Chains A and B, each alone.
Chain A
Amino acid sequence: MSENPGLIVRDLEIFSADGQTLVGPVSFDFNPGQRLGLIGESGSGKSLAALAIIGLLPDGLSSRGSIELGGRQLVGAPERIMNTVRGTDVAVVFQEPLTALDPLMRIGKQLAEPLRRRAAADGERLTRQQLRLLVRERLADVRLPDPDAIALAFPHQISGGQRQRAALAIALSGRPSLLIADEPTTALDVTVQSEILDLLDRLVDERGMSLLFISHDLAVVARIAPRVVVLQKGLVVEEGMLADVLANPRHAYTHELVDSARSLDNALDDALNGRDA
């Protein structure tokens, strides 16, 4: 095993308050800097798996098994530890940027808070001016036009795509080694969707982050992750390189997924020709 063993999920199970098994047991892993696509229809347990990794399962839900990140066990880790893991080791981008941003707080302030926290964790105290410059820089990093105006805007005053870029800037503010993107483009128009995917692709590459990309849409995953895990009803039904899975789906459910992917041709092309089409 390598020195920094990335993310290793072993026999993860998630239970509801009444003891029902919602997810698992599932196992998957990937090395630092790698990307993994988590595919499955709505309700298959993708989001719960993501929330379990970051230790934020909804009230009443519990998890069992093992989630190791950079050699550290996260299942059952105390809240004090999880709070240092969140944001700095793992961060999440959610599906709906409008509800994931505080409607009453300006974008700049929502970004400044985790930036300040990350600096404090590194033993730095930022002045207001430094923080303002950093906010502008980070908004520019996610290719937001006119960062100064965006920083002063409330979430409802900017477009859906701009909101998702802002949410991405917030997620990246703690310089996490693993980014979990839970259907980050599902709520967006197709053209905007494509721009966000390109941005995500580039940022993950530039920063050498690992990426867990969650989607119900094979065509979208095909653009960003070479390896996939297919979930159905909380269980892993298929796992492997996307090209192999597409060319030779072993499980009936994967067949269905492949058949139902509307832009199957594009997906195949992208997968067979490598990510960058």
Chain B
Amino acid sequence: MTRRRDRSAALIAGLICVGLIIAIALVSLLYQPYDPSDTSGGRLVAPSLAHWAGTDQLGRDLLTRLMMGAQIALVAGGGSVVIGGVLGIVLGLGAAFATRWLDDTLSAVLDILIAFPTLLLAMLVIAAQGASLGSAVLAIGLAMSAIVARLVRILAKRVLAQDYITAARTSGSSWPSIIGHHILPNIWPTVLVSLAIQFGAAVLAEASLSYLGLGAPPPNPSWGSLLQQAQATVYTAPLGAIAPGILLVLLVVGMNLLADGLRDVGDPTQRRRA
């Protein structure tokens, strides 16, 4: 009981954190305090009524850039999860249904992909595609697909061994129908939790790439590049580093809380008996 109350508390806390970032991103779509490349504010101005979070070393309004950064973080997380989720589910189901040697081969490839550092993979993609948010999302999504595929494969195999799959087949269900009606709904709660965690990891990965200058090129206001730019002036203007750091933590921790809270959702055996 306590455990379940903890979970709904986690769900609510996660929704608040993530909701806040989404709200910031939505507002920034409609309204920005300044043009993000407007440098008329003066360099490294302290927070004031005109510039709530001050300005950066080029004189750009920091609040505007933080708000735009929320868009980038959400696109990075969402885009990677879509690529990694779709590819991972398809690959994982494929492996679960494949013949023995194909399954073994796929599993070995997945293990190698998972062991391969995401940043290294990202550099390869960026070398081929050029540095951009798209390249970063593609690289992070590809790395994520291996993790998702391995999870989906093992979950699908476990479901496939259940009596209700045999029972469904005895009543003439085709494999596509069994995948749609039985396998996906049964693995979905666990996959969803994993995707929520992966979302947070993808946000961090994109920030790391931008920090290293491998994300969207300047004047891209990713929180990672804001952190990088603030590094030189961290003692004189600490807010430049603290603010993007806090937003990053809020989103990543929020997604993890959400993941924890989601564990019970979609599992009717956890609901009350009729």
Contacts and interface: CB of A to CB of B under 8 A. Distances in A.
Interface of A: 51, 54, 56, 83-88, 90-92, 94, 96, 99-105, 113-114, 117, 149, 153-154, 156-158, 167, 170-171, 173-174
Specify the main secondary structure of chain B where it touches its partner. helix
B273 interface: yes
Interface residues of B, number: 24
Contact of A94 (B167, B268, B274): B167
B170 A105 contact: no
Nearest to A176: B171
A141 to B, nearest CB: 16
Nearest to A80: B174
A84 B172 contact: yes
Contact of A87 (B172, B268, B273, B274): B172
A117 B268 contact: no
Contacts of B172: 83-88, 114, 117, 174
Contacts of A54: 170
**Considering residues B172, B181, B269, B273, which has the most beta carbons from chain A within 10 angstroms of its beta carbon?**
B172
Given A88-B172, A114-B171, A157-B273, A94 B181 contact: no
Interface string B188-211: 000000000000000000000000
Contacts of A170: 167, 171
Given A99-B162, A99-B164, A149-B274, A104 B171 contact: no
Contacts of A56: 166, 169-170
Interface string B242-254: 0000000000000
B173 A114 contact: yes
A86 B171 contact: yes
Interface string B76-106: 0000000000000000000000000000000
B220 to A, nearest CB: 43
Contacts of B269: 103, 154, 156
A114 B172 CA distance: 8
Given A149-B274, A173-B171, 8 more contacts: A85-B172, A90-B170, A94-B166, A99-B162, A100-B167, A117-B171, A158-B274, A174-B172
Contacts of B166: 51, 56, 94, 100
Interface string B161-191: 0111011111111100100011001100000
Contact of A92 (B164, B167, B173, B182): B167
The 3 A-B pairs with the shortest beta carbon distances in the complex, nearest first, are: A87-B172, A99-B163, A87-B171
A84 B169 CA distance: 11
Residue picked from B164, B171, B269, most chain A C-beta under 10 Å? B171
A114 B171 CA distance: 7
A85 B171 CA distance: 9
Nearest to B167: A100
B177 to A, nearest CB: 7
Nearest to B267: A104
